[in-house]
A and B are shown apart, each in its own frame.
Chain A
C-alpha cells in the first residue's frame, strides 16, 4: 500500500498511533528482512534488526517528552540520529529538526526563539537533553503534531516551516522494485529535500548510504558511491559539480538515477553528469520547503516544458513563477509574533485560489520555461538589470571552468560591476582562462552582463544546504 493511501485512511482524531507510520514500516522490514542492510555509513553498516533495536531504545527514552516541543539535533552522518528521528515521529508531539552544525549558543537561541522545551540529541548511544528552556515549561503546546523544518534564515533568524509526516510522505512513491536499492543522501536530513530522500528510501525498504561529511560535501562521496553500488543520488547541482570533480577518471559508477534539486539546474551540469554516468537517468525537481515538490523534469533538459504552466497549479505573472499551494504545502510558519504563544501556527495564504509568488524569474523560449534566477538577486549594472544565474550558466559552458559565482561589486560610476569568482579545472592556465571567459561572455551576453572583474579561487563557499553561498 502506498504511503498516500495508508495515511489518507487515518482519522485526524487518532493520537500518537497516527504517527506510528514510520514505526510500522520499520517493524515490517525488521520482520521481513532483519539482516538486510538499512544504513551504510563510513564507519559501519546497520541492519534493519539493529536499527529497530536502536529505535526501540529511543522510544522508551522519549516517552517522558511526549507532550513537548523539542529541537532534535541531528547529524546527517549518524545512524543513531536517524533512529532518533524515527522514534520521535511516534512519540514526540512537536519536533523541530536542527542540524548539528549549529553551535550550542546558536542552538539555545533557536530553542528560545521557537519557545521549545528541550534540545535533544544522541550522545554515546543515548538520548540526552542538550539544553532546556524553563520559560517554556509552564506553557502547554497546541494540539498540532508537527515536524518543524528551519529555513536557512539568510536575513538573520530562521523561520520554522510546519509540516507533519503525513504531508512530507505525500510525494513518496512506493514500489516493490525499490526494495533494497541504495540511495546516497546528498542533502542534510534536516532540510526538506533531506526528509524527502529519507522517506523515499525508508518507506521502500531501501538502503541509505550516509554522506561522508556533514553537511554533505561530496569530498569522499565519490568513493561511497562506487564502493557501495549506489543506485540513486539526490543532490543539488553544486554538489553534483563537486562530485564530478572528485570522481576518478574511468570510474563509471553504478548510479541509475540522479535527481537534482534545490538550485537552478543548467544544461551544462546535466550534460556533464550524463557524460560521466551514461547509464543514469538525470532528472531535476522544482520544490520548496514551504510549498513542497511541484515539478519533476525527466527529459534531461534544463527548464521545464511550457505545458506545465497550466494556470491551474502554475502561472507566470510578470515573469515570475507563481504556484497554487497543494496538499503538499506546509501547514504554516511557526508564529513568532508572540514567542510564547500557544496558538502556534497560521496559514501562509488565505483562501484556496491564492497564488504564491516563488521569487523565481522565468523566461519562455522555444516552448520551454527557463529559470533566470532569483528576483531578489538581480543586480543593477549601469541601469540594466542583470541576473547572475544567467551569466554563471554561460560561463559554465566553458570547458576549463569548474565552478563560478557572479557577485556584485559596488561602483560609484555604474552602481555595480559584475565580478566572476571562478574555480578552474585542475591544470588549466588561469590567465588564458580569464580571456576565454571574457571572449565567450562577449559573444553570448549583452555588454552590460559581461563580468568586468575576475577572481580565481580554489574553492567557493557553500551553504549547509549544499548551495553556493551568495
Chain B
C-alpha cells in the first residue's frame, strides 16, 4: 500500500472519531499531537486504534510492535501503520537505545517469517 493511501485512511479514521465524539478539528497537520493538539482523550485514542485495526487489520500495540506512549503525532501514526501494512522498516530512524517501535517491528517480522 502506498504511503499516501495509508495517510488518507488514517486521516479518515481521525476525522471519524472527531465527528462521532464532537471534537472540533481544524486542518490536521502531520506534526499535530493526537492528544495535546487534536484534543483526543484516552477513550478517543482507544477508539481510533480500534478503527485503524478495522481499516488495516492489525493492532500494532497488542501485537507488541509499538508502544502507545511512543506514537504521539499524526505522522508517527501514519508511519507506524505504513510499516505494519507493508512489513518494511521505512520511517523514523531507530533511537540509540535500540528499542524503538521500528526495531520491534523488524524483530516481529523476523519472528513471523521464521515461524
Contact = CB atoms under 8 A, between A and B. Distances in A.
A414 B59 contact: no
A83 B45 CA distance: 60
Contacts of A412: 46, 49, 59, 61-62, 68
Contacts of B73: none
B62 A381 contact: no
**Most A-side CB within 10 Å, residue of B22, B46, B62, B68:** B46
A447 B59 CA distance: 24
B20 A411 contact: no
A449 to B, nearest CB: 11
B10 to A, nearest CB: 16
A413 B20 contact: no
B43 A453 contact: no
Contacts of A381: 43
**Most B-side CB within 10 Å, residue of A409, A411, A447:** A411
A428 interface: no
Contact of B50 (A382, A435, A448, A453): A453
A417 to B, nearest CB: 5
A155 to B, nearest CB: 25
B42 interface: yes
Contact-size category for A: 10 to 19
Question: By DSSP majority rule, is chain B's interface helix, strand, loop, or mixed?
Answer: helix
A171 interface: no
A364 B43 CA distance: 29
Question: By DSSP majority rule, is chain A's interface helix, strand, loop, or mixed?
Answer: mixed
B46 A452 contact: yes
Nearest to A411: B46
B26 to A, nearest CB: 22
B76 to A, nearest CB: 15
B47 interface: yes
A382 B59 contact: no
B46 A382 contact: yes
A410 B62 contact: yes
Nearest to A415: B46
A23 interface: no
Interface string B36-74: 000000110111011000000001011000001000000
Contacts of B61: 412-413
A57 interface: no
A413 B68 contact: yes
A411 B50 CA distance: 7
A287 interface: no
Nearest to A419: B50
Given A453-B47, A453-B50, A414 B42 contact: yes
Interface in A416-470: 417, 435, 438, 442, 447-448, 452-453
Which 5 pairs across A and B sit closest by C-beta, in order of nearness? A413-B46, A412-B61, A414-B46, A411-B46, A452-B47
Given A412-B59, A413-B49, A452-B46, 20 more contacts: A382-B46, A411-B50, A412-B46, A412-B62, A413-B42, A413-B45, A413-B46, A413-B61, A414-B45, A417-B43, A417-B46, A417-B47, A435-B20, A438-B20, A447-B43, A448-B43, A452-B20, A452-B43, A452-B47, A453-B50
Interface of B: 20, 22, 42-43, 45-47, 49-50, 59, 61-62, 68
